[in-house]
Amino acid sequence: MTGRKSFIGRADRTGIPLLIARVLVGGWFIYLAINKLMDPIEFLKQVHEYGLVPDSMPIALNTIAIVLPFLEIACGLALITGSAIRGSAATIALMLVAFYPPLIIRALSIYHETGGAFCDVRFDCGCGTGEVFICSKLAENTVLLGLSVLALFSRSRRFCLGTSHPEKEGASGRHATPEPVA
């Protein structure tokens, strides 16, 4: 590019893509966490079905079932308010990536038991939304992962908690460094 900023860079400086990503991902994770907290026993059963923790370690299983919804709420609130964006976006992205393989393995096991088309596999994934079709869930998680990565790497901090007025920001979207006085 010869002196012109890319469309993506200009869009990022507006803060709109980051704001949209923050609100969608943060709001969705808060919603899912509240659903899990409304029926903690069912959520515990769903976590157990993934087989991530051996049956000989019930304290670890219980800890995951108790802590995960509160972690999701904390990350969701941090994203929505625009505080700790990178940390909360990275945590959400890691949670999504960590649950991809168990989600697919569980869906494949159901698929092999029932036959039919893979996208017709429907089960309660434990996410807090009830029964879902596997292909829809994978698409949803992929979009959430993409939005989380956008929030993680966005340079803009407009519309974020603690951000000064945009006219006081430098060209990079970050606070301008004051010039030394001679």
**pLDDT of the residue at 176:** 47
**pLDDT of the residue at 112:** 92
Contact 159, 15 (CB under 8 A): yes
Helix (H, G, I), strand (E, B) or coil at 175: strand
What is the Cα–Cα distance from 17 to 24, expressed in whole angstroms?
A: 11
**pLDDT of the residue at 172:** 47
Q: What phi, psi does 31 have (nearest 5°)?
A: -60, -45
Q: What is the pLDDT along the chain (182 residues), one digit of tens a residue?
A: 444 578 777 777 787 888 899 999 999 999 999 999 999 999 999 888 888 888 899 999 999 999 999 999 999 999 999 888 999 999 999 999 998 898 899 899 999 998 889 999 998 888 888 899 999 999 999 999 999 999 999 877 776 676 554 444 444 444 444 444 54
**pLDDT of the residue at 157:** 76
- For 113-122, the pLDDT digits (tens) are 988 899 999 9
Contact 72, 30 (CB under 8 A): yes
Task: List the beta strands (DSSP E) in the chain.
Answer: 122-124, 131-133
Lookup result for tokens 């002196």: 3
**pLDDT of the residue at 53:** 86
Helix (H, G, I), strand (E, B) or coil at 64: helix
10 Å Cβ neighbour count for 103? 21
Count of helices and strands (H, E) across the chain: 6, 2
- For 131-145, the pLDDT digits (tens) are 999 999 999 999 999
Helix (H, G, I), strand (E, B) or coil at 125: coil
